[in-house]
Structure 1
Amino acid sequence: MATSNSLLSEEQFLCPICLDVFVRPVSTPCGHNFCMSCITTYWTDIPVCLCPVCKETFERRPDLKVNTFISELASQFMSLQVADAHIWSSDQQQARGGGAAVLCDVCTSDSQQEAVKSCLECLTSYCDVHLEPHHRAASLKRHTLVDPLPNLENRICRQHTRFLSQYCRNDELLLCDICAASHHANHDVFPAQRVYKEMKALLGDREAKVQWMIHERLQKVRAVKESVKQSQTKTKDAIENSVRDMTTLVSEIQKSQTEFVNMMEKKQKEAEEQADKFISGMEQEINELQRTTVRLRELKQIEDQLGFLKSCPTSPLLPHTMDLSTFTFNRHEEIRHMQKSLSESVSQLRILLNRMNTQIKEIADSTYVSNDTMLRYMRQYPVDVVLDPNTAHPLLILSDDRKQVRYSSSGVWRHQIVSPNMFSEHLAVLGQTGFSSYKFYFEVFVGAKTEWCLGVATASVQRRGALVRSPGCGLWAIWFLEDKFETFSSPNVPVYLGKVERVGVFVDYDKGHVYFYDLQAATLIYSFTQCVFTEQLYPYFNPCDNEYGSNLDPMIIVPVHLTEWTEDSESQ
């Protein structure tokens, strides 16, 4: 690097460790110079204190002091570097978009010339004419001249009138060499040129990062806009298709209703016509029979034997009549049968409609998730459920591990201990442990049972006598009967059709939700929502009796295997 003073070279002021101009230079006993922070760090990282240049070893770490002479020379050298590096002139002018020329501070405003040099001691910029005394006068020749700089007063230390060549990272201040040595001796002070380059590089990195962030966000905005367009199209299609399907369904239901009404009216008309024809025939036969009765009475009144025998035919005077056993009229039974069949179909349709409304509500509440996803989520909260024999009805038999319960009609359970907590009428048993917060999940195998009841009950659920089937009874359970499900609290209202083998029960205590899932089909059987739980909940099991056929198989609490479920789901 060229300088304005050929007696000084850059190599003379470079630290052998950081290879940059000295900052707070110190001299080791062997005569080599280093930045104080560089040599201090170097000795901290090695076990033996030695000189990095000549490798001379010191028995103890030298007490180093800043070499003020070398520091002064380094400061002057840094001042002379300004013109060549263009740190404070050309770069800032480029930052301002080229910037205006620096004018001579001595020229009058009428004929102000462009400056050729700036004096760091005079804090003045001079044109060629007014610079001449600095070349002639001995006292001015010692001043430091650099390329023209604007705002010189902002580049000089006001206290020491020296060039601001250092930068303190701790205080984020520009310093002269005297300030750096006196007031910032223990701070991280570096040459302003070095910090400038580092910060410029850092700004470049940050600018690149910001540009990339802008690029990412623009891509994201474009993707979201495109997604919105697709969503609009899909929403429009979904609305049109759903409205068309529902309208078709409503139309078909209305058509079925019309056909049903017409069919019923036609059947009724045919039945009435048949009945009218039968009644008309019966009326004719009655008239004939009445006339026959009169004829028979007349014959009975003839006293003359010969006359009687001549008048009375040998065959009975009975008219031809219909065999009444061949005619039946049980239209009301046909109507009852048709109404029952229709009610079953309407119940199935209502179940599907309720399921559709539930899904619509879940989507509206942003809570809709697939059954597979919901099952994987619920299986993260398994609990170990064991049955409590103190609550079991006397006709129930528990397995030794208290994981199974079945009905037995052969008498009292062999290990029965009379307990006030047992169910006296319902064939039920509770789990050993109650839950009063958070979430819990368990699974039950019911196999081919024809009737059973499963759910959760409060600690205060009624144990003695019949349990009233109402929403406030303290029991949230589903009841399976042959081929359909209903809730315990709402009898005779089907909520799901078909049989299941394995049931998952999930309770979110804090949200007030209870879910029942058919694990084989990965389908929701029923869910209680918006429940208010105020006490502990216990798993509830009721294997039921043989009212609907052989039902002696047990209800079995089975272990929850999340990995098994994941593999099964993936294989499907």
Structure 2
Amino acid sequence: MNSMENLEKQLICPICLEIFTKPVVILPCQHNLCRKCANDVFTASNPYLPTRGGSISSGGRFRCPSCRHEVVLDRHGVYGLQRNLLVENIIDMFKQETSSSSSSTPASERKEESPMCVVHEGEKINIYCVTHGVPTCSMCKVFGEHKDCEVAPISSVFQTKKSELSDGIAMMVGNNDRMQGIVSQLEEACRVIEENGRRQKTLVCEKFDLLYSALEGKKRDMSQKVTSEQDEKLTYIRGLNKKYGEHLEESCKMVEHGIQNMEEPEMALFLQNTKPLLKKLTDACSTAHLDKVERGYENMDHFSVEFTKEGRALKSLDFLQDDEDEDEDDEEEDGEGEAPVTSPSASTST
């Protein structure tokens, strides 16, 4: 019995949840379906394909309900799928075996297998109350709480509900395929967004690197101007300092020579040396031949800078709007790719 139960589980269609009904078709992924169930799944997955005789005859695709493998059909549609004759033969043998087993089972045991009415002991549940939507027994319809209700044979309701459930499952499978497509599209959108984000961040960084390079170049040029004037003034002052030092040294020598002459006791010799010495002292006291440093010569305040406007422009940096892209391109062509410090505004393009 356990072997038969295991075999029955292998013969259950994943759509209608019943033993496969002929013909049984085999999918490329080696899973099996009733042809009717395969057609229902295919119809739900391809609602806009033209139908003929209640089935889609042209090519299309759907996903296997067991493994989600995509099945691509040719122009014959579901009827182009190969029949699984081996499974059909196994189903025939299984039905024969279960039929012989049920015939050999005592009636009392078979009776216990059917659900019984909890109100009327010994009565099988064999009708369906349409009003309340529950299965019941004949006694409940004649004498019980369902005597005024509309009822139907349980077999007909069984087939109707099974068909509704099968259609609902097929519809859900088709809906799952559409949802899977949406999920795939969303995953692709995430991938594209990440890629675009990385590319745009790279472009923004490149724009800022160009701006940094322009600022560094301008800083270098302006610093070089200050350095050039500084070196020029230092060279002049140092040269003038050297001349004054030499004149001072010469004056000190003249003072020493005059002091020595003051100690000369011989009057004739003293007077003889004094005349040229007095002329030299007079010449040494004169600094007319030496340049004078102009007042404020050492001042370099004329190199002061003010970047308040540029600072506001840098703080206002933002991404361009679509209608500003062409204006920025024109500005870049006019400026030959340079970003002047005195520009009232600056932006990065994406």
Whether TM exceeds 0.5 here: the answer is no
TM-score calculated relative to the size of structure 2: 0.42
